[in-house]
């Protein structure tokens, strides 16, 4: 198995879309499109696409993850909180890689790391 050298996170592409189309992110005209951005990244040499499906869906949406899974030609790395709802999405989508990350609603973006010692029991159940 070759190691990933460049994975591009497309969350902020979705952040722009959500800001522009806050009331209708599923519109056909909603842009920029994270899946189109992922395709550009792959054509430019990225070996993987990273997307964080947050519990609050503040940027990447379930449909984005589904479309990424169906359209990217490299690897999909799903960043995810350790919640039953998001774990269910991961099990349905089957990303190439999954990365458990901490989530706090007050954060603008994920800050800090996941305290695996403090959350050992919950993480064991998921892993």
pLDDT in tens, 27-79: 777 889 999 999 999 999 999 999 999 999 989 999 999 999 999 999 999 99
d(CA 38, CA 60): 13
For position 23, what pLDDT does the model report?
74
Residue at 1 is within a domain: no
Residue at 15 is within a domain: yes
For position 46, what pLDDT does the model report?
97
Range of the domain at 89: 7-126
For position 110, what pLDDT does the model report?
57
Q: How many domains does the chain have?
A: 1
Q: Is the pLDDT of residue 2 over 70?
A: no
Instruction: Enter the pTM of the model.
Output: 0.84
CATH code, domain with 54: 3.20.20.70
Residue at 78 is within a domain: yes
pLDDT in tens, 87-103: 999 999 999 999 999 87
Residue at 2 is within a domain: no
Q: What are phi and psi of 33, to 5 degrees?
A: -95, 120
Residue at 62 is within a domain: yes
């Amino acid at each position: 198995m070759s190691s990933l050298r460049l994975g591009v996170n497309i969350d902020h592409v979705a952040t722009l879309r959500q800001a522009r189309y806050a009331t209708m992110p599923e519109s056909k005209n909603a842009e920029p499109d994270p899946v189109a951005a992922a395709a550009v990244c792959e054509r430019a040499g990225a070996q993987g696409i990273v997307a964080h499906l947050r519990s609050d869906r503040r940027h990447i949406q379930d449909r984005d993850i589904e479309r990424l899974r169906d359209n990217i030609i490299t690897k999909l790395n799903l960043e995810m909180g350790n919640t039953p709802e998001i774990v269910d999405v991961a099990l349905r989508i089957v990303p190439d890689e999954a990365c458990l990350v901490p989530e706090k609603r007050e954060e603008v973006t994920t800050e800090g790391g996941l305290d695996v010692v403090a959350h050992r029991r919950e993480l064991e159940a998921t892993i």
